[in-house]
A and B are shown apart, each in its own frame.
Chain A
Amino acid sequence: MTRFIERHPAWALILLIAVAVMLWLVLAVWPPGLEEAIGRKRVFLNAVFNGITLGSLYFLVASGFTLIFGLMRNVNLAHGSLYLFGGYIGYAISTWTGSWVLGFIVAFIGVALVGVVLQIVVFRRMEGEDLRQTMVTIGLSIVFADLMLWVFGGDFYQIQTPNWLVGPIELPLVTAVKSSGEAVYLRYPMVRLVIFVAAVVIGIAMWLALNRTRVGMMVRAGVDDRDMLAATGVPIQLVFVAVFALGAGLAGIAGVVGGTFQSISPGEDTRFLLASLVVVIVGGMGSIPGAALGAVIIGLAEQLGSVYIPTYAIVVTFLIMVLVLALRPQGLLARR
């Protein structure tokens, strides 16, 4: 942090001002002039919160994708299928048992097992052959999509949110003041907040696991120099399988989250594959904090875009990607 300020004082100042303006926009009661210029504060706050919660869903999908890429240099283009499969498992389990939480656990385990099979049967056979892996995973994603269409049909599945999570709660953020002087607080869907908190917890847990544990150390060493790590006697294939399972399992969890506050249907697989590609390109391939930053940026861009420039909302995401590729092609938080 201090090094960043020393190296780029101008950028640091701009960032600081941006953060301050953002905080003021969120916390202060807007003067009438501002409301006239850019609309009600409630709309703005909702868009910001939605951007962050949508970002947390993107983070769950993209973190697995980037983890797998970072360690094994596999571009797993069947990652979207894992997301969709997790969603279907979550739906099946939660309607069968009535337990939302159980849906998450089974989806994680189920999809992680699929990941293990993929790693052992497919990826181990073509280590280091980028083009072959890409083609095979594209092929697999098409096969998976058709298999799931065959089993689950084209219907929309929406995972039942438990009763205690349905509906909005009031947050201690003032959106407006009535003429009587009474403050109006922001009402926000409970389920999205819970999902956001869960994503933050998962993100921190992953960061801790990578930076503070022995296995994490092996993984980080593998990212830097795989051959050297193997030469020191670490069972590298086992580490690969574990990381693949974790990445796939996260995609499975994300599927349940997506099925809860959006819906699951054919086509979602490619949508989330594209989203996670954009996120990791913006954030930096292979970097977990990069995935988090990229996910929040893309989520915010989508939501703020859909409110303030609805016609061009779709373009904004790709504009960001183009800008990043032009100015910092390795991604915002990539190490190299």
Chain B
Amino acid sequence: MFRSCAGLVALSSLLLSGAAIAQEKIKVGVTATLEGTYTVLGEDGIRGHQTAINTLGKKVGDKEIEFIIASTDATPDSAIRAVRKLIEQDKVQILLSPLSGDEGIAVKNFAKTRPELTFVNAASGAQETTYVDPAPNFYRYNMDGAQWQVGLGKYAYETKGYKKIATVGDDYSFIYTQVFGLVLEFCGAGGQVTNRQWVPLGTKDFASVIAALPDDVDAIYLGLGGADAVNFLNQYQQAGGKAHLMGGSIMVDQTILSAKGNAKNALIGTIAASGQADTWEDPGWQKFVKAYQDAFPPNKRFPSPSLLATNYYNSTMALILALRQANGDLSNNQAKLREALAKIELDAPNGKIKLDSNRQAIGTNFVTEVVDDGKGALFSKVVKVIPNVNQTLGYDPAVFAKIGVPSRTVPECKKY
């Protein structure tokens, strides 16, 4: 009985795959962190991806794009496993991947081993991915972690008057990049970063880390994300913490601001910087928020899209538009698609985006402050909009190269 059943299933799946080839589909593999610490981030990324499909449709000429989603858990090996599975089992021709920083570096390196395929970064933001030895077939339409911090250091030092800060961050490439951007600007303006604490990604009990925070600083910068961020805030409140807070791009984000429970209230008044601001009045942004809200019932989404949703939306949009420009032609190692991808200027909801010679986004950045909307929901309010942020953060490329690649201790706290 079981055998004949299995045989039937195998037969029908064979028939199904035969039918799929007949229709001429363009297969795109998508990865998102649908497991582990960053589950919520991955889920909202997929919502952004879906919103882009709803807006643009899946048709490219007479062909149709088929998206296949695979799950990762923010570790580089899980990303490579998912990408391999998509390429080898599902036979995808294009990848929209990955979400998290370390995954990005791994997928970029992997992309070099498959020069016949094209990789569009979904949301990962480590600087190294496109800055150090970039892969010619890897395109990134979101800014990196350092670009997302532009404006925060100066605002903290000049407007808020914070002179000395300490940082706590998850110990991996994206947060290194975020702290890199912050330290460069804050120390450049004259501030001091006295202490940088790194905790492993997935840390749940922060009580000892909180106890070790220095007392003699004006503010504490939090570069945490996902479950780690919620746990930190919860325990910070229980320990009676009262310091001023500053937040990274995935710390002050709807993924955290919409968490269940009241730990997030510790964030009210926190200043942060990111590639988006929830309450921006730009019509393009408002239209995107509306499209996102209309696409999902209120209990299956956040009040407003997270940074991940926006990134997935933009990268999906870039890919679909470029495929249309290339008429779905993937011959000759996808040359036409790549040309279109490199040239495309995206009228994205969070400001115009174009690529530099490393295929890395140049875009708009936002300094924000967390506000309560009066009904218990938290949003990031725009303080300052900074257009045309490039990967070298406005530094001369030669000077920028000397600073070094972001790490636990790079950059030093000084003026470069």
A residues near B109, Cβ cutoff 8 Å:
none
B227 adjacent to chain A (CB < 8 Å): yes
B259 adjacent to chain A (CB < 8 Å): yes
Complex Cα distance, B278 from A145, in Å, reads 32
A residues near B230, Cβ cutoff 8 Å:
156, 158, 263, 265
Please tell me if the beta carbons of B231 and A262 are within 8 angstroms of each other in the complex: yes
A residues near B262, Cβ cutoff 8 Å:
158, 160
Could you say which of A66-74, A104-112, A185-193, A237-245 contacts chain B? Answer: A185-193
Within A160-185, which residues are at the interface with B (CB < 8 Å)?
A: 160-161, 166-168
Please tell me if the beta carbons of B234 and A262 are within 8 angstroms of each other in the complex: yes
CB distance from B265 to the nearest CB of A (A): 11
Please tell me if the beta carbons of A157 and B260 are within 8 angstroms of each other in the complex: yes
B43 adjacent to chain A (CB < 8 Å): yes
Residue of B at shortest CB range from A191? B238
Q: How large is the interface on B (under 10, 10 to 19, 20 to 34, 35 or more residues)?
A: 35 or more
B residues near A191, Cβ cutoff 8 Å:
238
CB distance from A48 to the nearest CB of B (A): 9
Please tell me if the beta carbons of B207 and A50 are within 8 angstroms of each other in the complex: yes
Please tell me if the beta carbons of A154 and B231 are within 8 angstroms of each other in the complex: no
CB distance from B203 to the nearest CB of A (A): 7
Please tell me if the beta carbons of A262 and B205 are within 8 angstroms of each other in the complex: yes
Please tell me if the beta carbons of A266 and B39 are within 8 angstroms of each other in the complex: yes
CB distance from B37 to the nearest CB of A (A): 7
Which one, A154, A188, A271, contacts B39 given CB within 8 A? A154
B residues near A220, Cβ cutoff 8 Å:
none
Could you say which of A133-141, A305-313, A325-333 contacts chain B? Answer: A305-313
B204 adjacent to chain A (CB < 8 Å): yes
Which one, A155, A158, A311, contacts B40 given CB within 8 A? A155
Please tell me if the beta carbons of B261 and A158 are within 8 angstroms of each other in the complex: yes
Complex Cα distance, B263 from A167, in Å, reads 12
Could you say which of B141-149, B180-188, B192-200, B281-289 contacts chain A? Answer: B192-200
Which one, A54, A91, A154, A188, contacts B34 given CB within 8 A? A154
CB distance from A136 to the nearest CB of B (A): 17
Could you say which of A39-47, A226-234, A285-293 contacts chain B? Answer: A39-47
Please tell me if the beta carbons of B36 and A189 are within 8 angstroms of each other in the complex: no
B residues near A307, Cβ cutoff 8 Å:
208-209, 211-212
Please tell me if the beta carbons of B227 and A302 are within 8 angstroms of each other in the complex: no
Complex Cα distance, B375 from A69, in Å, reads 49
Within B206-231, which residues are at the interface with A (CB < 8 Å)?
A: 207-212, 226-227, 230-231
CB distance from A99 to the nearest CB of B (A): 16
Complex Cα distance, B202 from A166, in Å, reads 24
CB distance from B274 to the nearest CB of A (A): 19
Please tell me if the beta carbons of B36 and A303 are within 8 angstroms of each other in the complex: no
Residue of B at shortest CB range from A91? B260
Counting chain A CB atoms within 10 Å of each CB, the highest count among B42, B211, B212, B234 belongs to B211
Give chain A's interface residues, CB within 8 Å of chain B.
39, 42-43, 46-47, 50-51, 53-54, 91, 95, 149, 153-161, 166-168, 187-192, 261-263, 265-268, 271, 302-304, 306-307, 310-311, 313-314
Sample of 14 A–B contacts (CB below 8 Å): A46-B211, A154-B34, A155-B259, A155-B260, A156-B40, A158-B234, A189-B207, A262-B205, A263-B231, A263-B261, A265-B230, A266-B36, A307-B208, A311-B198
Nearest 5 interchain pairs by C-beta = A158-B261, A46-B211, A154-B39, A189-B238, A50-B207
